[in-house]
Structure 1
Amino acid sequence: MATLPRAGAVGAHPRDHRPALLTDPFLQRPEPDSTEVAWFTEFCGDAHHVLIGDGVGAMTDTELAAAAAGGAAHGVRVVAAQTVRLSRVAEDRDSHLPADRRPARGIAARAVYRHHAAVVVPAGDREPYRVISVLGDRFVVSETFSVGGPLAPGMPAVIMLTSDHQLLVNTAANIEFAARTITEQLGKIDAVFMPGDLVNVPDRASEWFDDERGSAFFAVMQGRGGRVASDGKAYRGAQILQHAPLYPAIGNHEVQGRRAGHTSLDDSLHNAVPRAVAEAEYAKVADSVNPTGDPAVKSQWVEDNSFSVTTYEEIFSPPRSGPGGKRYYAATVGDVRLITLFATRVWRSDRADADPAARTTGTRFQESHQHLTDPLAQGHGEFIFDDLAVGSRQYEWLRWELESPEFRDARFTVVMLHEGPHSLGENVVPAFTPPCRTEERDDHDRLVGIRYDYPAAENLLLRDVLPLIEHAGVDLVCNGHNHLWNRFTSPAGVHYLEGSNTGNSFGAFPDGSGRRRPVPPPPWNSEDTAAQGNPGGLSPTVPTIAPRRDGGGRPLPYIADNNTVVFQAIYTGTGTVTSWYVDMADTTAGAVKFDEFRL
């Protein structure tokens, strides 16, 4: 065995002929009484272990070599890890990697292995740990981090809220400022709630691990980034996930579109197809593509020709608490009962051409006239990935969770979802409803166009989900998606917070602002698209401490500025939710606490 460099080993490539970690270890809590430690490499390896105990930081090379072979050391527990290869991650010519590490054309699979082990730490305790991976006669070991036991009821905790990273230019700066500010003002971060859009293209491996711009998801959340922000300075992010478990939700950028027939991961992302459409197309070709009727072959064909969240599900281990598996779940985090929903849809542009002959591109409102006879090439509007209507499986699970003893007994309750019911942002339209398809025909009954409407009255979040949340008296609803900060409070006292501004805002459209969301022309019904305001009906809340102001000195109930980053945290000791911003045009001013309220 040979001990390799402990610092700087993360991210080294196998071509160096030495094993290296692709990421530091990160924490998940799939079970109430244990914590999962997981990490990634680009080699399968011969053995992988978690080393935990007071003595791990002082282990000698001889002791590390013994641990690499599975042996024990004084004051150190050695826990063997399981390994699985990620099945869909790949790179293409648009990957931000050195030229010799990305294909010149097409999509090339990339070998990435996930190693994970469950460790048990008593509630209230925290222990140092490291991970070690073995390849042949060599091994690589991480730095020393700490893992805590489950947060017990009554134990004050700091929960960081962050969203919509998507490798944006200011994401690393956002996380670096957030970790520093939250830790200084509230204490160490005990957990992270993240309502989606962790990356941009989920099947592109480099966006998770080693995008050369320095803002890959794990690199930033583990303090190993290096993105130059809009102020011209480089930021590394912060060591967060090595010490605090992440509770994610699925956003539209965790859903990869149809992979079959594509040579670009970007094009694949934007060609998501509903499952029912892919299944109907499969029935037409089943005899040729699957003559033996193998269910696994059918399942793979349908996934390859519709959409998938497989990469997300293979990377993360959120709690499992019902029929949603990893897609939606509930968990108790100290004094908080967290309910996480799968509430998102494919995003498409807002172009709307009244003349079917002019439709050269497919959007949320229309199909291209070139694809009227090819269901797999069509977009099918902004369809919802998982139904939330009354009677659906997810809706019934949510109703059951909101009536459960775990929910009723919790001091604080939080519902987290990517697309929320209230927002001043652009992406709150069209209404969150299944697209209503209209086939347009000429005088000879020939199909000449396909368009989609989104009846505002059928918004599933407002019509079906919101009444459950309000009736149950949820304390906080946390969402992302619109890349801005705004919040609302209902008459029943439910707080709705969107804090997804990492520096790529789509803008805010409050009533009377003069700014209007794009509204499609006739024959679409203009009343279905709210040009201004919050379609959910609640008025936005002006920040309680230091609101930004417009040119006339009036306080603004939002932050939608590409050069401003925003972050939030919940302190369960007092039930306080705090928001800060940093103006990237003047970072010397530091973080400004601009809003605070109690649950």
Structure 2
Amino acid sequence: MTPSPSWSRRAVVTVGAASAGALALAPALLSGSASARTARVLSTARAGTLGLLTDPFLQAPTADGVSVVWMTEYAGARHTLLVGEAVEALTDAQLVSAATGTPPAGIRAFAATSFRLSRVVEDAASNVADKPTTMTPREVHRHEAVATGLGARTPYRIVSTDGGAFAASGTFELAPAPKPGQDLTIMLTSDHQAMVNTPANLALAKATLGTIDAVFLAGDLVNVPDRASEWFDDTRGSGFFPALQGRGGRVSTGGRSYAGGEIVQSAVLYPSIGNHEVQGRVDGLTALNLNNCVPVEIAERRYEQVKASVNPGGDPAIKAQWLEDNSWSTTTYEEIFSLPEDSPGGKRYYATTVGDVRLVSLFSTRIWRGTNANTLPADRTVVSRYQESAAALPDPMAQGYGEFVFESLAAGSEQYEWLKEELASEAFQGAAIKVVVLHEGPQGLGDNVMPVFAEPDRIETRDAAGALTSVRYEYHPRDNMLLHDLQPLLEEAGTDLVLNGHSHLWNRFRSASGTNWLETSNTGNTYGAFDSLSSRTRPLPPAPWNADNYLALGNPGGLEPILPTVAPFLNPDGVPLPFVQSNDLCVFTALDTGTRTVTSWVYDVRQPDTAPWVLDEFTIGRGATNLTAHAVITGTDGVRIAGTVRSETAATGTVVLTAEGRELARATVTGGVFSVTLPAGLLDVGTHAVGLAFPRTRTHLATSMTLAVTVPDPDAVVVPPAPAAPARAVVTARVLKVLRSRVRVAIRVDVPRGHATGRVEIRRGDGTLVRRATLRRGRATVNVPRRKLRAAGQTTLRVVYPGTASVARSVGTVTFRLGRR
């Protein structure tokens, strides 16, 4: 991908391009914005001779308090939270004295409660200094102190003692729950997974945003949740807490090392569960395996067979532990975080209020499996999302059960019914901003939105004796519970923003109801976008799978992706892209509740001295003001900029236009519409980031945006643009039936827009033409005479779409086995 600043000097005025340096100081960071706030400078240096596994992090704020959590590798004697303006200046002796019951004047002490995490281990795949050869328990102790009586942001430290030694954290700030109307900066993120560029992403986010009040994290915090080092001290320098606390240290793909950002020591973290927070089976194993989960009901059947030996006394606790160890577990995630527990799912899904935001966090994920799909049962050697291996068929506990859903969100399910009640509540309906966070969402261009989010349809074959001979899985679009059950519920409730992760890219959508759908999880290992502009196609299963159930390109949710409003990237042909898919680009995003603005920044680790620039900006929430603008060159070489300013009603006021640190003009807004002409010469030839800012009025909130304006050189020779590269077609074919005299083949040709037309050719593998067919709405069904095919055995047909003036030639293949006639 090419960043859109390359649009400069094009002989048109365009929206979207500006230099990185200019955009780093775009209106989203104007003075007074929540995004521009900076905290006081405090010393983060630790004290004492004992170690801390993490710095403290904030959880569960209340009207006058907040929980502070930290981890150690020892049980210790006392663990204490110290709060007060003078904590930074305490000597070692005063720290120990305060922690053991005698705090100095002006310092308040709060004792912590502690327990040992029950499931964390290290194994041969751990990134630790002393790597074990087998799964080995890791001693990790969690400490939580609850501060009360808080008002404004206040400095704090934590102290842990053990015998005559102690450890004390550096100094950070805490605060009670924000009040309605309080301006907040909330970081929106997901899919950290100890990836190579995660520390760079978080370091630049912290440096750009300044004070961060909360973090909404849409799942996949780590890779393997019961592996302790991925949370606390992965030697690669990108563990979860080190990266979010500025104590990591990993070299990015651009060659520079980043420590991450000092964020969650002073910002409350609100996570949701991704598939990487769900631990697979551990019973009897020597190494952790994320993806060997089976449904709980399968484990329950096995338990009934073995309970006499594993639990002869019928102890309910032993049964529960056996089922967890032999199905799947979210216990480590639940032990680490202090989250609301009043839903039927406990900490797995919850709702809470963060200032003006009502936040709902859902448990929306399923097991991830590979894409192997073999037509012949005998060839199925791998368990995948589409099939069981032949070797796994005799043992139900060895099977994978496709990409089964951990906790249903289908209408009528327990989580759905809870959500329905929450969305109708006064807390949700009365909130100025309504946000839902979940790992897998209904909209997206990524790889992981396919197959659709549906319970796998298990298709079995058996022999005459009833023995299982094959299992494969279909995923029917009609059963997509996120699209058909969840999305209408969220839209009808007036949800403003749905944040998801899972596919490791940036893309955004907006439904007719006004709900915004955003994934912004680009931290250095993208799985790609699958759009007509992305030069990628998703792998599709062959026959006998139903090709109508799967999409090689596009969004199965049906919404069109939105181009970034400020600086979209371009493909090699200069076409703006509605996504970011790169292992070298870090995208980070924040919600400014004061302006109701969601802003996404981009940072290129290959250009580490270039500041992050704004990619996209939009407004959400009740009362949010939407600002739009476009620019054209006038006949006298001036620039006319016009647009609209609206919320639920048309705005009246003034739009201030600036560029390169100077005011260009002011435009009067009347009836929600404005227009102003910049005279020729006010802007030099080239591309300029023109800032438009609408100050807050009595009836409308402030808003801003950046408009890229390219002023052409009137003396330049205009070179006609090169013809656009033809679009790409995707040809798929599947065998419907092999008959005695013919083979019936279904053909589908997908093109970026509309339906493919014309004819396709069906050729043998050696190129010999055997049939032609006419496409109707991009599809055709054709009978291929067996006499034109080769002898019995494996046969491959090539389906050739010749293309059109705007769509390139493309070829698909289908392979099948011909029996003897």
Normalised TM-score (structure 1): 0.94
1:245-272: CA deviations, max 9, x gaps? 000000000000011132111xx21101
Residue identity matched to 1:363: S
Partner of 1:329: 350
Offset of residue 60 of structure 1: 2.5
Equivalent position to 2:278, from 255, 261, 270: 255
Two-structure CA RMSD over aligned residues (Å): 1.5
Partner of 2:145: 117
Equivalent position to 2:212, from 189, 210, 213: 189
- Alignment partner of 1:496 is 2:525: no
Equivalent position to 1:102, from 128, 131, 152: 131
Equivalent position to 2:222, from 199, 209, 228: 199
1:333-379: CA deviations, max 9, x gaps? 00000011000011000110111111111000111111102111111
**SS at structure 2 position matched to 1:178:** helix
Equivalent position to 2:335, from 292, 298, 314: 314
1:255-299: CA deviations, max 9, x gaps? 00011132111xx21101111110111011111111110000000
Equivalent position to 1:221, from 214, 226, 244: 244
**SS at structure 1 position matched to 2:114:** strand
- Alignment partner of 1:134 is 2:134: no
Equivalent position to 2:586, from 555, 565, 570: 565
Given that 2:47 and 2:170 are in contact with CA atoms closer than 8 Å, whether structure 1 keeps it comes out as: no
CA distance in 1, matches of 2:68, 2:95: 18
Equivalent position to 2:481, from 452, 456, 460: 460
- Alignment partner of 1:82 is 2:109: no
Identity fraction in percent = 54
Offset of residue 445 of structure 1: 4.3
1:95-114: CA deviations, max 9, x gaps? 1111xx221x2200000000
> Which structure shows the bigger proportion of residues in helix conformation?
1
1:557-594: CA deviations, max 9, x gaps? 00011111100000000100000111122122220101
Given that 1:121 and 1:127 are in contact with CA atoms closer than 8 Å, whether structure 2 keeps it comes out as: no
Residues 8/132 of structure 1: CA separation in 2 closer, same or farther (3 Å cut): closer
1:539-560: CA deviations, max 9, x gaps? 0000000000011111100001
Partner of 1:438: 459
Residue identity matched to 1:115: H
Given that 1:484 and 1:558 are in contact with CA atoms closer than 8 Å, whether structure 2 keeps it comes out as: yes
- Alignment partner of 1:280 is 2:301: yes
Deviating more after overlay: 444-453 vs 460-469: 444-453
Q: 1:383-398 counterparts in 2 under 5 A?
A: 383-398=404-419
CA distance in 1, matches of 2:52, 2:47: 6
Offset of residue 395 of structure 1: 0.2
Given that 1:357 and 1:448 are in contact with CA atoms closer than 8 Å, whether structure 2 keeps it comes out as: no
Q: 1:33-182 counterparts in 2 under 5 A?
A: 33-98=64-129, 101-103=130-132, 105-123=133-151, 125-182=152-209
- Alignment partner of 1:590 is 2:611: yes
Partner of 1:402: 423
Q: Which structure 2 residue ranges, 5 or more long, are not aligned?
A: 1-42, 621-821
Partner of 2:292: 271
Offset of residue 121 of structure 1: 4.8
Deviating more after overlay: 566-575 vs 445-454: 445-454
Q: 1:423-434 counterparts in 2 under 5 A?
A: 423-434=444-455
Offset of residue 122 of structure 1: 3.6
Residue identity matched to 1:327: R
Deviating more after overlay: 59-68 vs 425-434: 59-68
Partner of 1:14: none
Given that 1:565 and 1:583 are in contact with CA atoms closer than 8 Å, whether structure 2 keeps it comes out as: yes
Equivalent position to 1:302, from 318, 323, 327: 323
Residues 300/32 of structure 1: CA separation in 2 closer, same or farther (3 Å cut): farther
1:118-170: CA deviations, max 9, x gaps? 112545x0111000001011111111111012110001100001110011110
Given that 1:578 and 1:596 are in contact with CA atoms closer than 8 Å, whether structure 2 keeps it comes out as: yes
**SS at structure 1 position matched to 2:406:** coil
Given that 1:70 and 1:80 are in contact with CA atoms closer than 8 Å, whether structure 2 keeps it comes out as: no
Bigger Rg, which one: 2
CA distance in 1, matches of 2:349, 2:455: 20
CA distance in 2, matches of 1:302, 1:34: 37
**SS at structure 1 position matched to 2:136:** strand
CA distance in 1, matches of 2:44, 2:519: 39
**SS at structure 2 position matched to 1:48:** strand
1:191-217: CA deviations, max 9, x gaps? 000000011110000000111110000
- Alignment partner of 1:241 is 2:264: yes
Q: Which structure 1 residue ranges, 5 or more long, are not aligned?
A: 11-17
Residue identity matched to 1:93: A
1:390-421: CA deviations, max 9, x gaps? 11110001101110000111100000000011
Residue identity matched to 1:461: L
Partner of 1:13: none
Residue identity matched to 1:354: T
Partner of 2:736: none
Offset of residue 6 of structure 1: 8.4
Offset of residue 33 of structure 1: 4.5
Given that 1:9 and 1:20 are in contact with CA atoms closer than 8 Å, whether structure 2 keeps it comes out as: no
Given that 2:61 and 2:177 are in contact with CA atoms closer than 8 Å, whether structure 1 keeps it comes out as: no
